[in-house]
Amino acid sequence: MCRIVYRMVKDEAIAEDIVQEVFFNFWKKREQLTITTSLAAYLKRSATNAGIDYLRKKRPTSDNALDIDEPMYQHLVVDSNQSDSTIRTEELSNHIEAALELLPPRCKEVFILNRFEEMSYQEVADILGISIKTVENQIGKALKIMRVALKDYLPLLTVWLLY
């Protein structure tokens, strides 16, 4: 569960806090809950939803869009000791993250679980409570959007995947 949430929030401590909160809420509501899927699927779905909720709350508003603690161009600051391949990998990673942000929320969720969490279509369908066909459609949609968004970086992506 921590791994699922970590992929969304990119902070290990926050991911652990979110998962702990999921377990705490589960324990508080254990007597009122009626779980129709497996417990594991229920908890994974709860963790995913909690991660999404966290990201929604964290989204910049007009009041905090310019957060001084986190520079907008932070990824452009390069340590002189970094190798060229490390810089390219970070650059590609930044572009992939930006492309992921272009995906609709449900599509992004399905794509992350399948491609980054390495879950099968069936596992994704079970966790999200959707059909396998819906998972297939969402993956196809995500790949189309990602291909367009990353078209200028496909050569770099190919090199990155080889190493």
Provide the domain count of the chain. Answer: 2
Q: What is the mean pLDDT of the chain?
A: 76
* pLDDT for position 107: 92
Q: What is the CATH number of the domain that holds 43?
A: 1.10.1740
Rounded-to-integer distance, Cα 22 and Cα 154, Å: 38
Looking at the structure, do residues 103 and 48 belong to the same domain, yes or no? no
Looking at the structure, do residues 108 and 56 belong to the same domain, yes or no? no
Considering only residues 91 and 134, tell me which one the structure prediction assigns the higher pLDDT. 134
pLDDT in tens, 1-13: 888 888 888 889 9
48 assigned to some structural domain: yes
14 close to 55: Cβ distance less than 8 angstroms? no
Looking at the structure, do residues 100 and 152 belong to the same domain, yes or no? yes
Considering only residues 139 and 152, tell me which one the structure prediction assigns the higher pLDDT. 139
146 confidence band (pLDDT: 50, 70, 90) = confident
141 confidence band (pLDDT: 50, 70, 90) = very high
77 assigned to some structural domain: no
Q: Which of 64, 55, 50, 63 is nearest to 18 (CA)?
A: 50
Looking at the structure, do residues 90 and 54 belong to the same domain, yes or no? no
Domain that holds residue 30: 1-62
Angle at alpha carbon of residue 75, lines to 74 and 80, rounded to 5°:
100
Task: Tell me the average pLDDT across 118-127.
Answer: 86
pLDDT in tens, 43-85: 888 888 888 788 778 755 444 444 434 443 344 444 444 455 5
pLDDT in tens, 96-119: 888 888 899 899 989 988 887 778
